[in-house]
Structure 1
Amino acid sequence: MNKIIYILLMLIGIKNYAQTKAQEILTYQEFIFNVISEHPLAKSAELKEKVAKAKLLAAKGGLDPYLTSSINQKNFENKEYYNIFENKITIPTSLGIAITGSFNNNSGEYLNPEAYTNNTGIWSAGIELDLLQGLITNTRKIALDQAKVYQRIAKNKQLQLVNKLVYDASKAYAEWQQFNSICNILQSNVELSERYLTNIKNALTNGEKTAIDTLEANVYLQNNRINLLKYEQKLVEKRLKVENYLWYENIPVAMQSHVQPETNINYYKFEEITVDENLDDIPMIAEKRAKMESLRLKQKLNREKLKPKLKLKYNPIIKTTDNTFGLSNYLSENQVWGAKLTFPIFFRSERGKYRESKYAVEEINYDIAVKKKEIENKMIANEQNQEALTQQIKLLQMNIDGYEKLLVAETKKFEYGESSLFLINKRQENLIASELKLLSSQNMLIINYLNYLLMTNTIVPTE
C-alpha cells in the first residue's frame, strides 16, 4: 500500500476497520480511489496524454509519402493543342533527402517541346536533396522530436492535475473527519451536562441543592447545545465539500446522512522527511525541463536556418516503348537535374529568430533554478513544521491526560459537597479546549505531510 494511504489510515484510525461496513463508514482508501477513478478532473487529465499522442501522429505525418497527379488539356477548333498528364510520388525522409518517382505522358500539336514524350510516356526516378540548410536538421525532424518531447510535457501536466486533485480531496476528507470528531466530543459534553442537570434536580428534590444550582446547570447545558449546533453546521459544510469529489459514471454522488468518516484519530510519527537534492523528477520541474528541451530544438532549427539553401535534384529518365520497359532503356544522357541556391544577404530575420529562441532557453533555465530553490526551502520548512507539530501534539496529549484527572477529582469533590458546578464546568471546558486543539494540531500535521507528498510526487496511491 502506498505511503499516503498507510499514514493517513493510521492517523484517522483503523482499530474498528472490520466493522466499517456495518457502520456505513466511508474509508479514506475507498474515498480516494473513487476520486482517482471517477472524478471528471482525473478523466480530463488523461486527455492530455491522448492529445500528445495525436500530436506525435501528426508529426509522423510529415514523413508520409504523397502522390501528386494532374492533367491539363486544350482543344480548340477540333485540334488538340496539348494534353499533359503528370504523376509524381514523393517519399520524404528524416534527413534533407526525398526520393521521387514520376510518370509523364504528354501529346498535342502545340505542346511545348520540353514537355514532349513518346506515345507510351516516360518514367523517372531520383532524389531531391537539401545540401546545406536542412540536410541533418530540418523542419520534419524537429517537428517529430518536439512531438516526442510534448508527450513528456503532457505526462507531467497530467501528474500535476491528478496530484492536486488527490491533495484537495485528501484535505477535504481530513477536515470532514476532524469536525466529525469535534461534534462527537461536543455531543458527549452535552450528554454529560444533561446528566449533571438530572443529578442536580434530584439533589434539589432531596434538599441537597438549591434552585440556583439547577439554573446554573441548565445554562451550561444550553451553552453546550449552542456550541454543538455551531460545529454541526460546520460539519455539514465539510461533508458537502467531500461530496464535491464523489462521482460515478460522470454523475455526482451524494452521501447518505448516516455515512461517517473513519474515526479514532491516533498520532503516529511520520517517516522522516528528507530533502532530496535531485528534484528533476518532480512533475513541475520535469515539465519545465521538457519545455526547455523543446525550446532548444527550436533554437537548433533557427540556427540551421542561418545557412544558405542549396537544393539539388536528379532524375534519370527511363524510356518506354509498346513492348519494352526497364533499365535496358536507361541511357545516362537521359536525365533531368537542377540546382537552386538561395542566400539572404543579411540573414536578419534568421538571426533575430535564433537570438529569440536562445534567450527563451536561458529564461526557462533561470526559472527552473528558482523553482528548485523554492521547493527545497518548502521541504525544509515542512520538515521543521512536522517536528514542531509533533512536540505540540505530545504536550497537548499530556494536558488532556491532566485535565481528565482534574475533572474526575473535581467531580468526586462535587459529589461530597466540597466543590461546585462552576468548577466542574471550568474543568470540562479546559478539557474540551485541549481536545479541540489536539484535533486541530493533528489535522495540521496531516495537511503538512500531504504538502510534502504533493511536492515529492508521492501523493497518488499506486495500489
Structure 2
Amino acid sequence: VAVLKGLLIDKRRAALQQAKILAKQSLQQRNAAVNDLLLDAVMRYWQWYGAYAQKKMYEQFLNIANNRLRLIIIAYQQGDKSVADTIEANAQVLNYAVLLNESTAKLNKAGFELTDFLWDENGMPYLLPEHFIPDTTALLDYFIPLQLNDLLNIASTNHPEIKEYTYKLDGLEVERKLKWQSFLPTLNLKANLLNKGYNALYKVNDIAFLENNYKFGVDFKVPLFLRTARGDYQKTKIKIEQTRLGLTAKKWQLQNKVSTYYNQNRLYAAQLQQVTDLTKSFETLLRNELLKFNNGESSMFLINTREGKLLETRQKMIDLQTKLIISKFQTEWAAGLLL
C-alpha cells in the first residue's frame, strides 16, 4: 500500500484518465473537421447557385435579343430601320450567345464540384442530374439571428477547436500531477502471507497454517537531488503554458474571423440593396430607350449601351447575393455553429 508517492495517482491511473480525456478530445477534432466540411459544402452549393443564376440571366437576355433582332430585320425590310441597327442587334445576340456558353461551362463545373459532397445510400459518388436546380428560398434568410457579442462568446467557449484545447490542458494537468509525485518520498506498507500450495484459512489436523506465517514491512526511499523530477515537472509546466498561449491565440483568431465575416454580411446586405435599386433605375432607362427607339428617336447602339449597364448590375446583384449568403455561413462556421 502506497502511503505517500502513488497514493492519489500513479502511472496506471494517469494513463486511464488521459485516455478518457483523449477520447473527448478526439470527438472535438471530429466536430471541427465536420464544421470545416460543412462550410466547404455550403460554399460549393452557393457557387453552383451563382453559376445557375448567371446562366438563366443570359438565357433571358439572349431570348430578348433574338426577338428584337427578328423585329428589326422585319422593320429594315420595310424600310423603317437602317442596316446599322440590324448589325448592332445581331452583334448583341452573338455577344449574349458567347456569354451564355461561358456561363454554361461554369455551371457544369460548379455542378461537378458539388458532387464531391454527394453520395447515394451505398456510399457511391452521386452525379448531380442536369435537371436539378438550386433552391433559392434560402436567399431570403441571409441575416444572422445572433448579435456579434453572442457569436464571440459562443466562439470563445463552444467552438470545437477551443474545446479541443481545453481537453488538451486537462490531459496535461493529469501529467503534471503525475510528475509531482516524483518529488514525494516513497513510503509503502507491506503485509505478506508466507504460504504456498495450500489454503491458509483452514486448519489441517487442528493446525492453523495462518498462525506465524506472515510478515510485515515498510519501504521508505527519498531521492537525494530530484534532478530528474524537477526536469520532468518543469517540462510539463512549459507544455501547459504553451498550450494556454495557443488557446489564447486560437480564441483571438476565431473572434477576428467571426467579426470579419459578420461585418462582411452586413456590408454585403447594404450593397445588395443599393445594387437592387440601381438595377431598377437601369431597367427604367432601358424601357424609356426602347420607347424612343420604337418612335424612331433612338438607335440600337443606345439600346445596347443601356442593356449592357443593366446586364452588369444584374451580374453584380447575383454576385452579391452569393457572397451575402456565404458570409452568413462563414460567420456561423467561425463560431462553430454549423454542426
Whether the TM-score (by the shorter chain) exceeds 0.5 is yes
Instruction: Tell me the residue number matched to 2:98.
Output: 226
2:128 corresponds to which of 236, 249, 255: 255
Paired with 1:181 and 1:328, the residues of 2 have a C-alpha distance of 99
User: Alpha carbons of 1:393 and 1:327: their partners in 2 closer, same or farther (altered >3 Å)?
Assistant: farther
Instruction: Tell me the residue number matched to 2:293.
Output: 414
CA contact (8 A) 1:275 1:376 kept: no
TM-score by length of 2: 0.91
Instruction: Tell me the residue number matched to 2:179.
Output: 302
Paired with 2:337 and 2:99, the residues of 1 have a C-alpha distance of 39
User: Alpha carbons of 1:392 and 1:262: their partners in 2 closer, same or farther (altered >3 Å)?
Assistant: same
User: Alpha carbons of 1:327 and 1:193: their partners in 2 closer, same or farther (altered >3 Å)?
Assistant: farther
CA contact (8 A) 2:35 2:336 kept: yes
Shift of 1:275: 2.2
| Greater relative contact order structure (CA < 8 Å, 6+ sep) | 2
Paired with 1:367 and 1:195, the residues of 2 have a C-alpha distance of 64
CA contact (8 A) 1:320 1:329 kept: no
Q: Report percent identity of matched pairs.
A: 26
TM-score by length of 1: 0.67
Report the secondary structure of 1:305's partner residue.
helix
Report 1:268-287 matches (<5 A): 268=141, 270=143, 271-276=145-150, 277=153, 279-287=156-164
More strand by share: 1
CA contact (8 A) 1:316 1:332 kept: no
Aligned residue type for 1:273: Q
Instruction: Tell me the residue number matched to 2:168.
Output: 291
The unaligned stretches of length 5 or more in structure 1 are 1-128
1:400 aligns with 2:279: yes
1:201 aligns with 2:73: yes
Shift of 1:266: 4.6
Deviates more, 1:299-308 or 1:257-266: 257-266
User: Alpha carbons of 1:405 and 1:350: their partners in 2 closer, same or farther (altered >3 Å)?
Assistant: same
Shift of 1:133: 1.2
Instruction: Tell me the residue number matched to 2:64.
Output: 192
Report the secondary structure of 2:215's partner residue.
strand
Cα-to-partner distance string for 1:259-307 (whole Å, 9 max, x where unaligned): 2222477545612432233622111111001101101110110111222
Greater radius of gyration (CA): 1
CA contact (8 A) 1:313 1:339 kept: yes
Aligned residue type for 2:170: E
Paired with 1:233 and 1:435, the residues of 2 have a C-alpha distance of 19
User: Alpha carbons of 1:325 and 1:196: their partners in 2 closer, same or farther (altered >3 Å)?
Assistant: farther
Report the secondary structure of 1:312's partner residue.
strand
Cα-to-partner distance string for 1:2-25 (whole Å, 9 max, x where unaligned): xxxxxxxxxxxxxxxxxxxxxxxx
How many matched pairs? 331
More helix by share: 2
Report 1:229-240 matches (<5 A): 229-240=101-112
Aligned Cα RMSD in Å? 2.2
User: Alpha carbons of 1:453 and 1:378: their partners in 2 closer, same or farther (altered >3 Å)?
Assistant: same
Instruction: Tell me the residue number matched to 1:214.
Output: 86
The unaligned stretches of length 5 or more in structure 2 are none
CA contact (8 A) 1:275 1:379 kept: no
